[in-house]
Structure 1
Amino acid sequence: MTVALRDDYLAPGEWTTDDLDRLPDDGRRRELLDGQLIVSPSLTRLHQSIAMLLGAALQETCPAEFDVTQGVSVRTSRTRSLIPDLLVTELDAAARNPSSYLPNEVLLAVEIASRTSDGILLADPWDMDTPLARITPRSR
């Protein structure tokens, strides 16, 4: 979802990571895709429950040289900065407590897809024997 926040913001396609860094830290989730500012809507309970359960499952099975985290951006270029729902990174990169990672520091990026999302790529970064019920949120 792309949202114009103010009239004095840059035109679509002109945004860079430098511009993103100058925005206030007001809790809004902002990403860049080919120079276009993307402001995401609030996440749902189901989305957050899936992220929490999957993150815990990844953490339980994660080799010691990796780190599992969430909500940290990955900057692939000056006009792309995306925030995956979950990340698995090299432990050395995580040790510097970054606000963004470089692509070569990321081993796995997870985006939780909705029913309307197009295309889902599934890959196990290491051998995981986690039953689907382990990462499925409770519902009535």
Structure 2
Amino acid sequence: MTVGLQWPYVPPDGWTAADLDRLSLDGPYGELDALKRIELIDGDLIVMSPQTEFHRRVVERLRDELARQAPGELTATREMDVVLGERQRPCPDVSVVSAVAAADLDRTYYLPADVVLVVEVVSKSSEIRDRETKPRRYAEAGIRHFWRIENDGGRPVAYVYELDPATRTYLLSGIFHEQLKVPVPFPVDLLLTALSG
């Protein structure tokens, strides 16, 4: 007899960021635990779709390149939650975080104060979240830098945003097609075409 996927019941007061730590491989929810790629957006659990090869390559190579170029007090990580509030725990594709915060090997998430840059690589199943919802939540939490990477026929295009602290919204500071070269949050110079090739 095959046992089907066991979905958890929504807690009486809805999901919170702390609930995600209980959705682990040895947690109470059976096969759902094996999915692993779950995030909390506006109190809703979002099960992320399988990633494309474009998405995997860009995330992996961008994380490696940012880690290489980051100053010693920062490091880059991939697919690590950021708790923005009680009902907000998104999982950015790539983040640049404090090296001190990253030294805690038992942590399961970062806080906005730990994060200087978040990057979302847009997938068809997450376009609205990656383009609208998550950037709005990152900005409201005070994360100063946000990049969005789009797939333009197999070639990455980077949209670079910086936080306006007065309005707590992101302002577009550049669109990059071949080479991404920016001075903040630290000097970054990378060949975008190398990320997917």
Q: Which has the higher contact order (CA 8 A, sep 6+)?
A: 1
Given candidates 111, 115, 122, the residue that maps to 1:102 is 111
Counterpart amino acid of residue 132 in structure 1: L
Measure, in 2, the Cα distance between the counterparts of 1:24 and 1:59: 27
Alpha-carbon spacing, 1:51–1:13, altered in 2? closer, same or farther (3 Å): farther
Runs of 4+ in 1 over 6 A off after TM superposition: none
Q: For the residues of structure 2 that align with 1:101 and 1:78, how far apart are their CA atoms?
A: 13
Residues in 2 aligned to 1:128 and 1:12: alpha-carbon distance in whole angstroms: 46
The match for 2:39 among 21, 31, 36 is 31
In the alignment, which residue of structure 1 is the partner of 2:191?
Answer: 131
Normalized per residue, the structure richer in strand is 2
- The answer for unaligned runs of 5 or more in structure 2 is 26-32, 132-147, 149-158, 162-183
Of 48, 52, 58, which residue of structure 1 is paired with 2:56?
Answer: 48
Superposed counterparts of 1:43-82, under 5 Å: 43-82=51-90
SS at match of 2:188: coil
Take 2:34 and 2:96, find their aligned partners in 1: how far apart are those partners?
Answer: 23
Query: CA-atom RMSD, angstroms?
Result: 2.4
Alpha-carbon distance in 2 for matches of 1:13, 1:47: 34
Identity of aligned residues (%): 32
Aligned residues of 1:57 and 1:134 also touching (Cα < 8 A): no
Retained in 2: the 8 A contact 1:12–1:36? Answer: no
- Length, aligned pairs only: 133
Q: Does the Cα contact within 8 Å between 1:13 and 1:36 map onto a contact in 2?
A: no
SS of alignment partner, residue 76 of structure 2: strand
8 Å CA contact 2:21–2:108 kept in 1: the answer is no
Q: Which amino acid aligns with 2:69?
A: T
Task: Point out where structure 1 has 5 or more consecutive residues left out of the alignment.
Answer: none
Given the two structures, how large is their TM-score scaled by the length of structure 2? Answer: 0.60
1:71: how far off? 1.6
